[in-house]
Each structure stands twice: as C-alpha cells, then as structure tokens.
Amino acid sequence: MWTYYLTELAHSLPFFLKGLWMTIAVSGISLAGGTAIGFAWGILRTRKNRFIDHLIGAWVDLIRGTPFLVQVFIVFFILPEAGVHLEAFPAAVLALTNLGACFICEIVAAGIRSVPWGQKEAATASGLTELQQLRYVVMPQAMKTILPPLVGQYVLLIKDSSVVSAIGVMDVTRAGWLTVQRVPQGLLVFGLVGILYFIICYPLIHLSNFLERKMGGGTTSF
Amino acid sequence: MLEAFNFRVILEYMPLFLKCFMATLWLSGAGLLGSLMAGTLACAMRISNSRALSGAASVYIESIRSTPLLAQIYFFYFGLPSLGIRMTEEMTGVIALTLNSGAYTAEILRAGFQSIPFGQVEAGVSSGLNYFQRMRYIILPQALGVTIPPMLGQAIVLVKDSALLSLISITELTRAGQIMTSERFMPAEGFLTTAVFYLIIYFVLKSIAGWSEKRLIFREGR
C-alpha cells in the first residue's frame, strides 16, 4: 500500500514543483515590491513629518492587527465590489506586497532611528543634500541594523504566502491540498509540502542568524 | 460601496460574530497555554547538556520555523486520520497552534534565560542563597521581565494565526465572515466586521504589551 502511495506521490512531483515555482513567483514579486515600498515608507516615517508618520503608522497597525487570511479575502472579495476586479494571482501579490511593506517599513524606520542624530547633523554641516545624507551617511549605517531582521521577515513572508492557496492560487500548499484528496496520506503529502518550504526557508533563517552575528556590535568596526 | 453598506445585516449576524469572537479567544487562549507548556519543555531540552535532548528540540524548533503554519495544520488535519487517530477539528486546530507557537515560545524563553549573566547566579551562590531563592529573587524577576513583552507579541501572532483554522472548517471569527459572505453575498460587511473584531483584540494586547515593556524590562540605573 505504501509503495503504491509513494509511486502516486512520485508521479505528482512535477505538479508539486510547479506549485513550488508559483510560491517562488508570488513571494519573489511581493518581496521585491514590499521591500521597495517598505523602504520608502520607513524613510518617510523618519522625516519628522508627524502627519505622514501617523498616517503610515495607522495603516501599519490596521495591517498588523488583522490576520493575513482576512486581508486576502478583503482584496479578493471586496475590491470587486469597488469595481477593481483581480484574478487570484494579482490579488495574492497585492495583499502580500502590502503586508511585506508594512513589516519592512517598521524594520527600516527602527534601523534609521538607530543611527546617532549627530551623524545627520555632521552630514548637514558638511553640505550634503538630504538625498546624499541618506545615500552616503545614514543608510550605510542603518543597513547593519536593518539587514538581519529583514531576512528574517522574508522567511515569514514566504511562509505567509501559503495562505493565498485559500483563494485558489496554485502554490505548493494548494498542490498538497489537491493531491491529498486523491492520495489520502496526509502525513506523506504534507510532509513533502513541508520539505519543499524547508528547502527555501531553512537557509534563509541561517542567513539571518549569520548576518546578526556578523553585524552584531559592528557599529564600531569602521 | 459605502452607501450600500448594510449595518442591519451586520446587527442580524451579531450573535454569530460574538459566538465566533469567543471561539477565537478560546482557541488562541488554549493555543497560548499549550505553547507555554510545549515551549517550556522544548526550551529546557534545548539548553540541557544532553546532546540527544538538545538535538531533538533543535529539530522540532527548526522544522516548525521553516514551514508555514497552514501546511502544519493540513499535516495534522489530513495526516492524523491516516494514522487512525480521529479527533474533532477543534482538537486538531489547537494541537497545530500549540506545536507551532511552542517552537517560537521556546526561543523567546531561551533568550530570556540567556539574558541573565552567569555572574549573577554565581553572586547568588556566594551570598548563600539556595536554588529556589536564586530563582525567586534573581533569575525569574529579570527573565520574566525580558520574556513577557515578546510573549504578548506571540499572543498577538497566535490570535491572527487562529484565522487559518477557518480553512479546516472550525467556526471562528474568519469563518463567520465566510458564512455571511456565502449566505448573503455580502463580503464587505462580513470580512470588515471580522477585521474589526480582530483589531479590538490586537489593540488590547498591544497596549498591554506597551505597558509591560515600560514597567517590566529592567534597565540599568532605574
């Protein structure tokens, strides 16, 4: 019996790999978008404009305070009522990008705040423009604080991407869910799903730990 | 969209939402209690001197942290019956939440205990304090202070994670939104009401976390 199930599973391996590719596509696009927007929001939050700071802060609270599944449903089921019709894939990417931006924005803002204020004053006194200050003085130092939690956040986002299977995106989790209807061996099927996620996430977790060790106390190393 | 927002139907469904709100509190509360136990055990194993115990705890923690909760929920939901173990969806859900959150709790506890310099324990020994006195007066007051704020953060994550249990047809808050959507085809009313309930839990827990961070974390010179 077990050999039968194993061969069944081996036959559906291409199906799983297709799902893995979808997981990588959804999370890859969302991570890139979320990182770009998150950095922009994080920089805006530290610009001493209270209105913008509170606006972004309130949005971040709304997103952090609700489950990602509910956000996915809101994008997929409610936006059409407002006249925005999205297929499952763009809806998933939109929801995940927004989630990523909200978490990354907090990491970036914390990183920028960790740079001593005197550095910015010194840069101003040296006649650097705002953009130059960010590019040459603030960001290079802030990156040491930002990078380890950023990679950790990527892992969380890749794992969260499994939730979009609920609206029918054919990712690894969805592949497992469909396969288990045919091959009723949950441990085997979702063991395989777990292994596929593990292959992506485990190296990233260790990269994050490595960066933390490397960057730890690194502010004095210049 | 907003002018068509139907508050009457929301009121009509309020008993369902309140029932589901309690279910979410119950499920995540049980998960939190379970994860404290699982986490304490895993943490004790992880920092023990036995390589076998420590290795087993590492495998548990790393494999949970590298795979998505949804895959874990399906693993138990589809997997346990194939082993001949039958239990209610709620039981399966609480077990999945417990084991998932337990791995993160173990890491939080470990960080808490390792935050206490060993010199303090030695100082306690040389002051003539016995094991329980050292625990009571030196280790626990500091370890709890470091542990409680991130544990409250974990509680927030747990409440949001419990939304995924709706996908194995457990009746909780997100399920209430789904029920309302399918019965009345009112996704906006359904899922936005769901989101509001989650936000209530989030803001309560967040303010407790903020307060505890101010009150409990020991800082030099205070």
* pLDDT-above-90 percentage for chain A: 69
pLDDT value at A150 more than 80: yes
Q: Is the pLDDT of residue A180 over 70?
A: yes
Which pLDDT band holds residue A25 (cuts at 50, 70, 90)?
very high
Share of chain A above pLDDT 70, in %: 97
Instruction: Tell me how close the Cα of A196 comes to any Cα of chain B, in angstroms.
Output: 9
pLDDT of residue B221: 43
| A187, part of any domain | yes
Are B78 and A184 a contacting pair at CB < 8 A? yes
Query: How does DSSP classify residue B135?
Result: I
B202, closest residue in chain A (CA to CA): A65
Q: What is the pLDDT of residue B73?
A: 96
pLDDT digits (tens, 9 = 90+) for A101-115: 999 999 999 999 999
Give pLDDT, residue B86: 87
Say if residue A37's pLDDT is above 70.
yes
Residue A164: closest CA among chain B residues belongs to which residue? B70
Q: Tell me which residues of chain A, numbers 7 to 26, contact chain B at a CB-CB cutoff of 8 Å.
A: none
Phi, psi of B50 (to 5 degrees): -75, 125
Of the listed ranges A2-6, A142-146, A214-218, B172-176, the one predicted with least confidence: A214-218
The confidence score (pLDDT) of residue B57 equals 95
Q: Does B189 touch chain A (CB under 8 A)?
A: no
- The distance of B125 to chain A (nearest Cα, Å) reads 31
Domain of B189 in residue numbering reads as 2-216
Establish if B198 belongs to a structural domain: yes
- For residue A194, give the nearest of B75, B78, B82 by CB distance: B75
Q: Is residue A222 part of a domain?
A: no
How far is the first Cα of chain B from the last one, in angstroms, to the nearest whole number?
53
pLDDT of residue A219: 42
C-beta separation of B135 from B65 below 8 A: no
Q: Is residue A6 part of a domain?
A: no
Q: Does residue B82 form part of some domain?
A: yes
| B153: in domain | yes
On whether the CB atoms of residues A171 and A164 are closer than 8 A, the answer is: yes
Instruction: Please state the domain count of chain B.
Output: 1
The ipTM assigned to this model is: 0.90
Integer angstrom CA distances of residue B151 from A12, A182, B145: 41, 40, 10
pLDDT confidence of A216, banded at 50, 70, 90?
A: low
Contact yes or no for B77 and A194 at CB 8 A: no
* pLDDT confidence band for A218 (50 / 70 / 90): very low
Q: Is residue A185 part of a domain?
A: yes
Query: Residue B219 has what pLDDT?
Result: 54
In a domain, A3, yes or no: no
Domain count along chain A: 1
**Amino acid in position A91:** A
Query: Given CB atoms, is B218 within the 8 Å cutoff of chain A?
Result: no
> Does the beta-carbon distance from B191 to A163 stay under 8 Å?
no
Instruction: Provide the pLDDT for residue B52.
Output: 94
At residue A213, the pLDDT reads 87
Is B221 within the bounds of a domain? Answer: no
State whether residue B208 sits within 8 Å of chain A by CB. no
Run means of pLDDT, 10 residues per run, chain B, 222 residues: 73 92 95 95 90 94 95 94 88 96 94 87 90 86 86 94 94 93 87 95 93 70 42
**Partner B contacted by A154 (CB < 8 A):** no
* pLDDT > 70? residue A221: no
Which among A66, A176, A205 has the least Cβ separation from residue B199? Answer: A66
CA neighbours closer than 13 Å in the CB half-sphere of residue B85: 12
- Chain A contact for B2 (CB, 8 A cutoff): no
CATH of the domain at A113: 1.10.3720.10
Residue B111 lies in a domain: yes
pLDDT tens digit sequence for A128-140: 988 899 899 999 9
**Nearest-angstrom CA–CA distance, A24 and A27:** 5
DSSP letters spanning chain A: -HHHHHHHHHHTHHHHHHHHHHHHHHHHHHHHHHHHHHHHHHHHHTSS-HHHHHHHHHHHHHHHTS-HHHHHHIIIIIGGGGT----HHHHHHHHHHHHHHHHHHHHHHHHHHTS-HHHHHHHHHTT--HHHIIIIIIHHHHHHHHHHHHHHHHHHHHHHGGGGGGGT--SHHHHHHHHHHHS--HHHHHHHHHHHHHHHHHHHHHHHHHHHHHHTTGGG--
pLDDT for B3 equals 60
Is position B222 within any domain? no
CATH number at residue B163: 1.10.3720.10
**Average pLDDT along chain A:** 90
Distance from CA of A137 to the nearest CA of B (A): 30
Angle of helix B89-114 relative to helix B140-161, nearest 10 degrees, comes to 150
Calculate the alpha carbon distances from A96 to A201, B101, B173 in Å. Answer: 17, 22, 21
Contacts 24+ apart (CB under 8 A), B45-51: B46/B106, B46/B110, B47/B110, B47/B113, B47/B114
